[in-house]
Amino acid sequence: MSSAFMEFLGAAMPESVVGIGICVVLLAGIFSGRRGGEVSYVLSLATLVIAAWATGAVAGGTVTMPGGAFVVDPLARLLKLFSLAVMAAVLVYSRAYLREKRLDAAEFYVLALFALLGVLVMTSAGGFLSMYLGLETLSLALYAMVAFERDAPTGAEAAMKYFVLGAIASGCLLYGISLVYGVTGSIAFGPVSESLAASPSLAGNVGLGFIVVGVAFKFGAVPFHMWMPDVYQGAPACSTLFVSTVPKVAAFALAVRILVDGMAPLASDWQAMLVVLALLSLAIGNLTAIVQTSIKRLLAYSTISHVGFIFLGLVAGIPAGIEAALFYTLVYVLMTAGAFGVVILLSTGGIEADALDDLRGLNRRSPWFAGMMLLLMVSMIGVPPLAGFYAKWAVLSALVDAGQTWLALAGLLFSVIGAFYYLKVIRLMYFEDGPGNAALQPALDFRAVLSANALAVLALGLFPGPLLALCAAVLGTG
């Protein structure tokens, strides 16, 4: 074998480890009987640890597969390590919930690992074909995870909506890719960018429009957000937790790889589209969240508003803007993972915590976890010295530096509006009486991970410099 091929095999080791882990977890679940869920949980965590080691063990620099379909660069390594860490937290949060709901089967862990495999492929995609294969691997697993609780009619309905709308979005993305291929004669991002710069065409712009539709759907941006509130509410809490976190890392990779790397010559066109999507997402997300009575739907519309901020970072059109969008994505995923961790914590005793009223009196039941939720909500508002403040500050600063002050003012305005519904959550936890005063006593691993999750948001707010510098370094802007 050539040295280049051996180098590629080493670079693709994380994907190989997860692929092997899927087979092992599935077989272990079949032959472990009643203990299949517990064994699958342990094996899944072991798979994540080994995959993280394999990711970190790959030499620095950039490794490109012959033909350019698969690329391992610093950005891919960061996104992979972050996805693996968040995935581990998701499994820890989900363990007790799955056991109590009698859903603790190997199939959940297999589906989660399949989705993770799609995320890893997307972060290293060097062309449209590999990106699309990773996207479909992720999407098909997500459809099944949403409908994982087979006896719940809301889950089946949410999965069907997600599947139909997802199929339409994937079709739009694939059609846009076919138009770009027809214009450029290539599906690798580098040659596509060079061809579009050399010979712009109307067909390329039309293809870009369809591609942006696919990107917006995967983020859940308005007006392609219709699936998100129903999926968040209808799916089991553990599936909602997964859908709201790890796939957003893949969505960022999708946007950067395709738009920034592959469609850079058409930047002014896709930035104009993202301006509209960002403003609509900020407006609809924040205003609609105010009237929600479901905590899951509230967090769904909160996600839509955060997507608007991520798009504003990409709209800035300068390296600092992309850096800010990456920083915002990482911070958002941490905040959302912790928030849904608290929702899962409340889903005990046969109760599926969905209504905002389920948060009433949380401070009396568990002052510590109420404090953790307080940190997460205040960070989502964007109050210093928490990470959410610096995430928003980085995006708004990039917009001002790019001469788009009006967009920065719009983002600031909608952030103030969005503070209302986060403060409502805080009021329910601290100033309202709950239905009961039974103390919450989660397992030690759950308690440790949720505490670390929320405190990480505080730590990143107190010391944002290292992560901001890392984001700049992996993007080549630092």
The answer to whether residue 478 scores a pLDDT higher than 60 is no
Least confident of 5-9, 119-123, 184-188, 225-229: 5-9
The answer to whether residue 114 scores a pLDDT higher than 90 is yes
The tokens for 109 are 């862990």
Say how many domains are in the chain.
1
d(CA 209, CA 269): 9
Q: For residues 115 and 13, which has the higher predicted lDDT (pLDDT)?
A: 115
pLDDT of residue 7: 59
pLDDT of residue 438: 67
The answer to whether residue 408 scores a pLDDT higher than 70 is yes
The answer to whether residue 63 scores a pLDDT higher than 80 is no
The residues, ordered by sequence, that sit 6+ positions from 159 with a Cβ below 8 Å of its Cβ are 143, 144, 146, 147, 231, 234, 235
The length of the chain in residues reads 478
- Report pLDDT digits (tens) over 81-112: 999 999 999 999 988 888 887 776 778 899 99
Give me Rg for the CA atoms of the chain.
21
d(CA 334, CA 456): 8
The answer to whether residue 67 scores a pLDDT higher than 80 is no
The answer to whether residue 477 scores a pLDDT higher than 80 is no
The answer to whether residue 167 scores a pLDDT higher than 80 is yes
pLDDT of residue 390: 92
The tokens for 314 are 């990409």
pLDDT of residue 10: 65
pLDDT of residue 411: 92
Instruction: Tell me which residue range forms the domain holding 329.
Output: 3-475
Q: Which of 381, 404, 422 is nearest to 289 (CA)?
A: 422
For 405-426, what is the mean pLDDT?
A: 92
For 197-208, what is the mean pLDDT?
A: 86
- Report pLDDT digits (tens) over 259-304: 988 888 898 899 999 999 999 999 999 999 999 989 999 999 999 9
The answer to whether residue 11 scores a pLDDT higher than 80 is no
pLDDT of residue 204: 85
- Report pLDDT digits (tens) over 347-389: 876 677 788 888 888 888 888 999 999 999 999 998 888 999 9
Report the percentage of the chain scoring pLDDT > 70: 94
For 309-327, what is the mean pLDDT?
A: 90
Phi, psi of 70 (to 5 degrees): -135, 125
pLDDT of residue 90: 93
Global pTM reads 0.94
The end-to-end CA distance of the chain, in Å, is 36
The answer to whether residue 4 scores a pLDDT higher than 60 is no
The answer to whether residue 5 scores a pLDDT higher than 70 is no
